[in-house]
C-alpha cells in the first residue's frame, strides 16, 4: 500500500510504501495539500468520552469506543493511565485494561499502561487531584502485583522520589524495563539527583502537580528543567500551564527533550457535566476545565491531541514540525513505545496520520494503525 502526503519534517511530498511496517519512503511528484506524519502518541490518558480507565467496572466495549474516538484526533498509540487509588481498585483497573487490550480489535493501539501513583506526595499541591488517603511509600512487591494484574503491560510509572528508599525502588523498576517518571513531587534537589542517578528519565506534566507557592530557587521545577537526563512532558491545553511557562520550559529543555500529553480524563469529548474518575467525581465546566467536584483543583483535562498541537504552535510558538515531533518520535522514545522511534522511516510501524492545516487548525483526514486505516 502507498500513502502520499507532504512530509511534516521536510515540507516535501513523499510516498510511503507499507504493509504493517514502513517499507520505503520516496519523493512524490506533484503538489500535495495534506501533511503526512507518524501517528500521534499520547502517554497519559485517564479517560475519554465518559469512559473511566481508572475504574475496574468499566465495560471493555466502552474502552474500545473511546479508542475509536482517539483515532479521529490522529492518535494511534496511547497509554491508558491509572491514577492513585486503593490497591484493589488499581489492580482491578489494570486487570480490566489488560482484558481490553487482549480482546478488542482496538487493543493494539494501547501500547502499554501508565500508572500514575500511588507513590506520590501526599502534600497539598504536589498531590494534585489524587486522593490523599491512598498516597503511600514505594513498595516493590505491590508494584509487581500491579504488573501481574496488568499482564506485563505497565510501561510507564510516575512517582515522587521524596520517599525514603526511592532510589533503590527506581533501580528495581527500571531493571524490569519500565520507564520511571518523576511527578506529583516535593522532592529536594538531592532527592531528584538521586532519582535520576537511579534511572528516572522523565518528568510527568512538568509545571503541574506542584505547590501554588514555591521558593525562587532551588525548587523541583527548576531542578527538573535543568537536568538534561530528564525528558519532560507537558499538557498543552492552555489551562494547566500558561503560554509563558510552556514557551520558556520548552526552550530550556530543548524540543528534543520534550513531549506532549493530553492528560485527558473521563469528561474529555463530552458536554459539560459531572463524571467519575476513579473513586472521585469531577466536573467539566463550560470553559473546558476539568475540576474535582466542588473544588478549585484541576483533575486532568478535556484536551484532544490535535488541539494540543495547535496550542503548541500558538502558545509555545514552535513550528508544526516541532509540535509533531513532540507528539510522535519524542513521545515514543520517552515512553519506550516499540516500533515508533524513527518516524517516517523504513522499519517503523505503519502508523500514520494524514491532516491538513487550516488557519492554524489541524484537521485530521485519515489515521492508519499497523498499516490498516482506522479513521477517515
Q: Extract the C-alpha cell encoding 108.
A: 493494539
> Which one of 263, 322, 348, 351 is the catalytic residue?
263
Provide the strand spans (E) within the chain: 2-7, 13-18, 22-27, 35-38, 40-45, 47-48, 51-52, 75-83, 113-116, 154-159, 179-182, 202-203, 231-235, 258-261, 273-277, 280-284, 290-292, 352-358, 361-369, 372-375
| Residue 89, all three cell numbers | 481498585
* DSSP bridge pairs for 280: 277
263 is catalytic: yes
Q: What is the largest CA-CA distance in the chain?
A: 61
Which one-letter DSSP state was computed for residue 278? T
Contacts of 217 (CB under 8 A, 6+ apart): none
Run of H or E residues at 191:
helix 189-198
* Residues recognised as catalytic: 263
Amino acid at each position: 500500500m502507498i500513502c502520499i502526503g507532504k512530509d511534516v519534517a521536510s515540507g516535501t511530498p513523499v510516498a510511503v510504501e507499507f504493509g504493517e511496517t514502513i517499507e520505503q519512503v520516496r519523493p512524490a511528484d506533484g503538489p500535495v495539500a495534506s501533511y503526512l506524519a507518524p501517528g500521534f502518541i499520547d502517554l497519559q490518558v485517564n479517560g475519554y468520552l465518559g469512559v473511566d480507565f481508572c475504574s475496574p467496572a468499566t465495560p471493555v466495549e466502552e474502552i474500545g469506543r473511546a479508542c475509536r474516538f482517539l483515532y479521529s484526533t490522529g492518535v494511534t498509540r496511547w497509554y491508558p493511565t491509572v491514577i492513585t487509588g486503593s490497591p484493589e481498585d488499581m489492580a482491578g483497573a489494570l486487570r480490566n485494561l489488560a482484558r481490553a487490550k487482549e480482546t478488542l480489535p482496538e487493543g493494539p493501539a494501547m501500547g502499554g499502561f501508565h500508572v500514575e501513583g500511588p507513590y506520590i506526595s501526599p502534600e497539598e499541591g504536589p498531590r494534585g487531584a489524587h486522593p490523599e488517603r491512598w498516597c503511600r511509600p514505594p513498595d516493590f512487591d505491590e508494584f509487581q502485583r500491579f504488573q501481574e494484574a496488568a499482564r506485563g503491560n505497565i510501561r510507564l510509572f510516575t512517582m515522587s522520589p521524596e520517599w525514603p528508599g526511592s532510589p533503590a525502588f527506581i533501580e528495581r523498576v527500571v531493571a524490569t524495563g519500565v520507564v520511571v517518571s518523576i511527578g506529583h513531587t516535593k522532592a529536594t534537589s538531592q532527592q531528584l539527583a538521586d532519582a535520576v542517578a537511579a534511572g528516572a528519565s522523565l518528568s510527568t506534566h512538568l509545571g503541574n502537580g506542584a505547590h501554588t507557592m514555591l521558593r525562587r530557587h532551588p525548587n523541583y521545577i527548576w531542578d527538573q528543567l535543568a537536568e538534561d537526563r530528564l525528558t519532560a512532558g507537558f499538557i498543552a491545553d492552555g489551562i494547566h500551564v500558561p503560554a509563558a511557562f510552556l514557551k520558556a520550559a520548552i526552550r530550556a529543555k530543548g524540543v528534543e527533550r520534550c513531549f506532549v500529553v493530553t492528560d485527558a480524563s473521563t469528561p474529555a469529548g463530552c458536554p459539560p457535566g459531572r463524571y467519575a474518575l476513579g473513586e472521585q467525581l469531577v466536573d467539566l465546566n463550560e470553559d473546558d476545565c476539568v475540576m474535582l467536584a466542588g473544588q478549585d483543583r484541576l483533575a486532568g483535562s478535556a484536551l484532544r491531541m490535535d488541539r494540543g498541537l495547535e496550542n503548541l504552535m500558538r502558545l509555545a510558538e514552535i513550528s508544526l514540525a516541532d509540535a509533531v515531533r513532540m507528539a510522535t518520535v519524542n513521545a515514543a522514545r520517552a515512553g519506550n513505545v516499540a516500533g515508533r522511534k524513527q518516524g517516517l522511516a523504513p522499519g517503523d510501524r505503519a502508523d500514520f496520520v494524514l491532516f491538513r492545516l487550516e488557519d492554524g487548525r489541524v484537521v485530521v483526514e485519515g489515521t492508519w494503525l499497523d498499516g490498516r486505516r482506522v479513521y477517515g
